[in-house]
Chains A and B, each alone.
Chain A
């Protein structure tokens, strides 16, 4: 092992260099793809084979019809049994007691393994109890942001989480008392505030949040993101000279950053002027 500590860029570069297909494998795959393109007869494992989907739906409908028939038969049997035991007046008095039991037929039973559950839930006959459908599981991402120290917890996996809804909760949660108590959450929320302000075209507010983040988390884990956003905010605010200085500082500090393209595009006028000066 080397004497000097291994750096993150070194680890990343080595991993990127080793963890990839060999040249021979690349060549083989390229040949196969070109053959497929030419013949247009590539054999692909279909992600959602339509035939199976139809068969699956037919099966679901059959199972559903059987279940409904069974429920109907058992209800009829129960009703007749109770009528025999206590008469119709008692049935009317006890009617509300039966309501909770209606929700026991859940649409989960017909959940298909390949993500067809959305269609199945949307079908009216499945929904025997409307309230059961409205019971939405908590958004896993929201839970995660609200409790960042337990980020390893298993998330339930919704197929299509509503991003706008999640963003809303993420933006709201820090305004509670917990945000200032938890530095991790506070740092995250400051970054979120910067993004939100930039999205809302309020660069001054974004810069204020950036300065707040820089004061509190000068060497925070999201300093790279903050400095990239600073360049964008300065240029959006029309402070091209400061933006350009911030851009240079950013590129020097994070030469391989994923944000370098965005940062470069943030101040096109300044960047063009710099290139012109360099050429002269």
Chain B
């Protein structure tokens, strides 16, 4: 388990909203995808991610006055999301087990090639992320997908900058190996197709 940051507490943050404090809907629009993906990375299934995301922003609505202006909004949101996920994880895990027992829906509609390609690439990235342990996955995801800086990530995860870099380096090296593996597989398939 990684050491995770505490979101700022009400008691150690200014109690009144700053005049230039960000608006809730502004925050929602800017960060809804980020919160969704973080919740998913922390183990929330897709069908429950909407509930968690909504809870996060309702919590933001109540605690916006505790956000320190000048701090990283995404680091703060990460703390709230992580707390809610930890709180609800057991119930979601139970629910997921029940849902897993149900038969999976069959995909029947044929989609255009471009969409299929995007789906395949997204599935590959998902497979790669699933290979990583949570520590490296969060750092990699925050860097490459959420485009957060190393300082922001260090703040969000409450880890030293050096640790952010070391995890990022390890994750990138694994991605490179993952890509080479994919390429080799494609080559083999191509060779099989041309020389039956």
Binding site for B on A (CB under 8 A): 1-3, 5-6, 8, 10-21, 25-26, 28-30, 32-34, 36-37, 42-45, 47-48, 114-115, 140-142, 144-145, 148, 151-152, 154-161, 163, 166-167, 170-171, 184, 187-189, 191-192, 195, 220-222, 225, 256-259, 262
B85 CB to closest chain A CB (Å) equals 11
A164 CB to closest chain B CB (Å) equals 9
Q: In the bound complex, do residue A44 and residue B117 qualify as a contact, i.e. CB atoms below 8 Å apart?
A: no
Contact of B37 among A10, A14, A19, A32 (CB under 8 A): A19
Q: In the bound complex, do residue A37 and residue B167 qualify as a contact, i.e. CB atoms below 8 Å apart?
A: no
With A5-B186, A148-B166, A157-B3 in contact, do A11 and B53 touch (Cβ < 8 Å)?
A: no
Closest Cβ neighbor of B88 among chain A residues: A45
Beyond A167-B161, A258-B143: 20 further Cβ-contacts under 8 Å? A6-B179, A8-B175, A11-B124, A11-B128, A18-B119, A18-B122, A20-B37, A28-B50, A30-B25, A33-B57, A36-B58, A47-B59, A47-B80, A140-B3, A141-B162, A145-B160, A152-B135, A163-B158, A184-B169, A257-B147
Sorting the interface of chain B by its residue count into under 10, 10 to 19, 20 to 34 or 35 or more gives: 35 or more
Q: In the bound complex, do residue B126 and residue A15 qualify as a contact, i.e. CB atoms below 8 Å apart?
A: yes
Q: In the bound complex, do residue A6 and residue B121 qualify as a contact, i.e. CB atoms below 8 Å apart?
A: yes
8 A Cβ contacts from B137-162 to A: 143-150, 154, 158-162
Q: Does B165 have its Cβ within 8 Å of any Cβ on chain A? A: yes
Instruction: Report B-chain residues with C-beta under 8 Å of the C-beta of A1.
Output: 120, 186, 189
A-B contact count (CB 8 A): 207
Instruction: Report B-chain residues with C-beta under 8 Å of the C-beta of A222.
Output: 165, 168-169
Q: Does B93 have its Cβ within 8 Å of any Cβ on chain A? A: no
Q: In the bound complex, do residue A155 and residue B3 qualify as a contact, i.e. CB atoms below 8 Å apart?
A: yes
With A5-B186, A15-B122, A45-B84 in contact, do A29 and B57 touch (Cβ < 8 Å)?
A: yes
A152 to B131, CA, bound (A): 11
Q: In the bound complex, do residue B33 and residue A20 qualify as a contact, i.e. CB atoms below 8 Å apart?
A: yes
Instruction: Report A-chain residues with C-beta under 8 Å of the C-beta of B166.
Output: 144-145, 148, 151, 184, 188
Instruction: Report A-chain residues with C-beta under 8 Å of the C-beta of B59.
Output: 44-45, 47
Closest Cβ neighbor of A1 among chain B residues: B186
Q: In the bound complex, do residue B159 and residue A161 qualify as a contact, i.e. CB atoms below 8 Å apart?
A: yes
Q: In the bound complex, do residue B61 and residue A161 qualify as a contact, i.e. CB atoms below 8 Å apart?
A: no
A227 CB to closest chain B CB (Å) equals 14
Q: In the bound complex, do residue B169 and residue A15 qualify as a contact, i.e. CB atoms below 8 Å apart?
A: no
Contact of A155 among B135, B143, B186 (CB under 8 A): B135
Q: Does B13 have its Cβ within 8 Å of any Cβ on chain A? A: no
Q: In the bound complex, do residue A188 and residue B37 qualify as a contact, i.e. CB atoms below 8 Å apart?
A: no
Closest Cβ neighbor of B154 among chain A residues: A163
Instruction: Report B-chain residues with C-beta under 8 Å of the C-beta of A37.
Output: 24-25, 61
Instruction: Report B-chain residues with C-beta under 8 Å of the C-beta of A151.
Output: 133, 135-136, 166-167, 170
A152 to B2, CA, bound (A): 10
Q: In the bound complex, do residue A221 and residue B168 qualify as a contact, i.e. CB atoms below 8 Å apart?
A: yes
Instruction: Report B-chain residues with C-beta under 8 Å of the C-beta of A170.
Output: 160-163
A118 to B9, CA, bound (A): 14
Q: In the bound complex, do residue B182 and residue A5 qualify as a contact, i.e. CB atoms below 8 Å apart?
A: yes
List the 6 closest A-B pairs by CB distance, nearest first.
A14-B121, A18-B122, A15-B125, A170-B162, A258-B147, A221-B169
Q: In the bound complex, do residue B179 and residue A19 qualify as a contact, i.e. CB atoms below 8 Å apart?
A: no
Q: In the bound complex, do residue B36 and residue A20 qualify as a contact, i.e. CB atoms below 8 Å apart?
A: yes
Instruction: Report A-chain residues with C-beta under 8 Å of the C-beta of B144.
Output: 8, 12
Closest Cβ neighbor of A164 among chain B residues: B160
Contact with A along B48-85 (1 / 0, CB 8 A): 01100111011101100000000000000000100110
Instruction: Report B-chain residues with C-beta under 8 Å of the C-beta of A28.
Output: 50, 54
Q: In the bound complex, do residue A29 and residue B189 qualify as a contact, i.e. CB atoms below 8 Å apart?
A: no
